[in-house]
């Protein structure tokens, strides 16, 4: 069974540009989460989508946004890129969780974004 897949694996952008990252959850999982992991740091929660709706959002500016499609795949969009946006962006999925406590998340390998 395929795990969580993310694309692209690596991306290089310049300041001010916009980027879209994509994630496909494990089959049967309807919840998708996005985390940012800057070099040498822990995982910072970005967004949580469940059954097509945004359920929770981390402390990030509005230029970080996303959406979830009817097939439960998801996109993360970052506008007006800044140097400090350089990080590994991780997507994770789980079974439906907006009515139950989030437990085990399954992570993809991430998209490494470099902003020059």
Partner 1 sequence: GESVGLHLPTLSVQEGDNSIINCAYSNSASDYFIWYKQESGKGPQFIIDIRSNMDKRQGQRVTVLLNKTVKHLSLQIAATQPGDSAVYFCAENTWAAGNKLTFGGGTRVLVKP
The residue ranges that bind partner 1 (CB under 8 A) are: 4, 33, 35-36, 40-46, 48, 55-56, 58-60, 90, 92, 97-98, 101-110
How far is the C-alpha of 75 from the C-alpha of 97, rounded, in Å?
19
Residue 58 C-beta: closest distance to partner 1, Å: 6
Question: How many CB atoms neighbour CB 90 within 10 A?
Answer: 23
Nearer to partner 1, 13 or 45 (CB): 45
Residue 92 C-beta: closest distance to partner 1, Å: 8
DSSP at 62: T
In sequence order, the 6+-apart residues with CB closer than 8 A to the CB of 40 are none
Nearer to partner 1, 95 or 105 (CB): 105
Q: 3-state DSSP call for residue 32?
A: strand
Residue 87 C-beta: closest distance to partner 1, Å: 10
């Amino acid at each position: 069974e395929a795990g969580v897949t993310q694309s692209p694996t690596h991306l290089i952008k310049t300041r001010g540009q916009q980027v879209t990252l994509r994630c496909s959850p494990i089959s049967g999982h309807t919840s998708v989460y996005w985390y940012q992991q800057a070099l040498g740091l822990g995982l910072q929660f970005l967004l949580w989508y469940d059954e097509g709706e945004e359920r929770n959002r981390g402390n990030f500016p509005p230029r970080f946004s996303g959406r979830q499609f009817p097939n439960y795949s998801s996109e993360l969009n970052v506008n007006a890129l800044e140097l400090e946006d350089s990080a590994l962006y991780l997507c994770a999925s789980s079974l439906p969780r907006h009515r139950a406590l989030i437990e085990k998340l399954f992570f993809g390998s991430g998209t490494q974004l470099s902003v020059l």
